[in-house]
Amino acid sequence: MKLTNRSKVVSNKEMTLAEKIYLPAVFKGMGITLKHAVRNIVKGPPIYPYPEVDKPRAEIWRGQHVLKRDEEGRERCTACGLCAVACPAEAITMVAAERTKEEKHLYREEKYAESYEINMLRCIFCGMCEEACPKSAIYLTDRLVDVETNRGSFIYGKDKLVEKINERIDITPRQSDKQKNAVK
Ligand code: SF4
Ligand code: SF4
């Protein structure tokens, strides 16, 4: 589904002579390889026996998203669509629905996301969606997106995105002061 008109067609500009013969780019690539090879010989390669030992990730690492629940276990997302509009990769789609009286314990707001999908192949993990969310409902986490063997499996729905009720994910280290104050 196309949500915005911000995508642009990139023109194919004429390649320069250096680009046409590829050699400068090849030598540049070999230079980078050589630099790393020398560093590894001198310092020893940084080896992690994954999956037993995970490579340490930076605090600002942005991995797989989570759709948060509130302290009562209700889904925070109100399907306002701001994350989808903010997403530069147009990776987010959703369908909104009205909450019924019987569903008050499931959804925090009167409107909720009946379906919510992120195309992980499109996502560039920029974090704009969490910046845009007025309900502190979506955050990127330090989790890795699973390896898949077909493209369709990278479309993550609510089953993969919504926080499990008994496996809460602490996102407070990621929250800005503004976001912390916004959470009610
Ligand atoms: S992290 Fe960026 S690219 Fe990925 S879904 Fe959020 S806004 Fe879109
Ligand atoms: S995650 Fe946040 S911004 Fe996105 S639809 Fe839900 S409430 Fe709106």
Ranges of residues in the chain whose predicted pLDDT is under 50: none
Quote the tokens at residue 7: 């995508």
* CA of residue 8 to ligand 2 center, whole Å: 25
Helix or strand (DSSP H, E) at 98 = strand 92-98
* CA of residue 133 to ligand 2 center, whole Å: 5
> For position 118, what pLDDT does the model report?
98
Counting every residue, how long is the chain? 184
- Whether the full predicted model's pTM is greater than 0.85, yes or no, is no
User: Ligand 2, atom 4: nearest CA belongs to which residue?
Assistant: 83
User: Ligand 2, atom 2: nearest CA belongs to which residue?
Assistant: 133
What are the distances in angstroms from CA 24 to CA 15, 19, 56? 13, 8, 34
Strand bridging mode 92-98 / 111-119: antiparallel
**Calpha distance 161→68 (Å, rounded):** 9
Nearest to 164 by CA among 61, 62, 75: 75
